[in-house]
Amino acid sequence: MGIHAIAELIHDGDLLPSQLLESCLDRIDAREPAVGAWEVLDVEGARVQAKELDDRPPTGPLHGVPVGVKDIIDVAGLPTRCGSPVRGGAPAAQDAWIVRRLREAGAVIVGKTVTTEFAYFTPGKTRNPHDVERTPGGSSSGSAAAVADRMVPLALGTQTAASTTRPAAYCGVAGLVLPPGHLDDSGITGLSPTLDSMGFLTRSVPDLQLVAAGLLGMDRAPGLDHAPALRICAAEQFGEVEPAMREGLASSVAALHNSGAVVDRLAPEAAPGSLVQAHLDIMAVEAAQSLAAETGQVSPSLQALLDQGRATSEAAYRRAIDHARRQRDAVTEQLRGFDAILAPAAPGPAPVGMPTGSPVFSRPWQVMGLTSVAVPGLRDTDGMPLGLQVIGRPDDVPRLLAVAEWIERVLARAVTG
């Protein structure tokens, strides 16, 4: 069940939070050995939370909803290991701000989900629930897998490069990435302050809308009264796209156009490909500062990033920041008269093996500080998920979610019709 259905059942008295939790725990018991989505479970703590909620009237759409929390986000009483043996097992003294908001909204914290090492590339144990020989993506690996495998209907992620949109695409779920700095990040182990964002993973875009309203207090935009106007970011602008994604994007554009959407290509001067290096330079410099104490104790890939950051000059760092700002202005200009940009969320379906895949399709939007929504619904010929993302201005998240919800509905009709 998604959050919409859960909220209705709990509100009508047809489902208790404790009953919902036990069904989730049964699913975790059955599937966790194969999927490996969880770093640590707090079964008894979750049962106490759910039982307390049984006796309270529902106060919102997240009342009794079981949630997984990415293991770079503090949960009081549970360790925050950040996917690294460097971090010990000492429990966090208090909840991160976003976890406090979850509890206030009535959510039940089930445990901590697996992350890649310090939310960078080195993978954990999690596998893709659609095919356990494939990666779930990263760095919010466990969060996306847990939602996709129906272990929980909602999980927290984060994003510095593609850490929510890519696993959402590979696992076939919906993901919301808020602009960097949009929410209080206290209690979260960050990698790059300029780039770090909060992410949310659910089974559908309407569920993301409920999260934005019930957890973040955002007004829910009304359903679109007309088809949106979309700028299409052609996949070849990134240079590394697989045939399945190229075909999926083309068929999606056709379906959206046939449903009334105005579609136009993103102009070359706003092409995001040039921002990939700028993103990497900023991330490397800031990661070297954020993880200075861990130097020499991390994986070779993360150590290489820290070394690159220390070798990058202040002038190069400033050029990257300035370039991102100029490109953001160009993209914002391209959005005049348009509702959003549509682009791939990943080069193709989840690759075989544990490496988490390429982040190239999300780096540019992230470094520009835009909002993105990963939209599920497409599949390749093997039945593996393909993900698109809808990108928009940082100042109107509800409107972007409404556009993404319209796109999700159109694509669902196209796939089933």
Q: Give residue 382's Cα distance to chain centre.
A: 24
Name the pairing type of β-strands 229-232 and 154-159: unpaired
Whether residue 70 lies in the annotated active site? yes
Residue tagged active-site, from 18, 141, 143, 163 = 163
Give CA–CA dist 401/228, Å, rounded.
12
Axis crossing angle, helix 205-214 with helix 397-416, rounded to the nearest 10: 160
Given 139, 140, 358, 362, the catalytic residue = 139
3-class SS string, the chain: CCHHHHHHHHHCCCCCHHHHHHHHHHHHHHHHHHHCCEEEECHHHHHHHHHHHHCCCCCCCCCCCEEEEECCECCECCECCCCCCCCCCCEECCCCHHHHHHHHCCCEEEEEECCCHHHCCCCCCCCECCECCECCCCCCHHHHHHHHCCCCCEEEEEECCCCCHHHHHHHCCEEEECCCCCCCCCCECCCCCCCCEEEEEECCHHHHHHHHHHCCCCCCCCCCCCCCEEEECCHHHCCCCCHHHHHHHHHHHHHHHHCCCEEEECCHHHCHHHHHHHHHHHHHHHHHHHCHHHCCCCCHHHHHHHHHHHHCCHHHHHHHHHHHHHHHHHHHHHCCCCCEEEEECCCCCCCECCCCCCCCCCHHHHHCCCEEEEEEEEECCCCCEEEEEEEECCCCHHHHHHHHHHHHHHHHHHHHC
CA distance 192 to 181: 11
* 163 is an active site residue: yes
274 is catalytic: no
Catalytic residues: 70, 139, 163
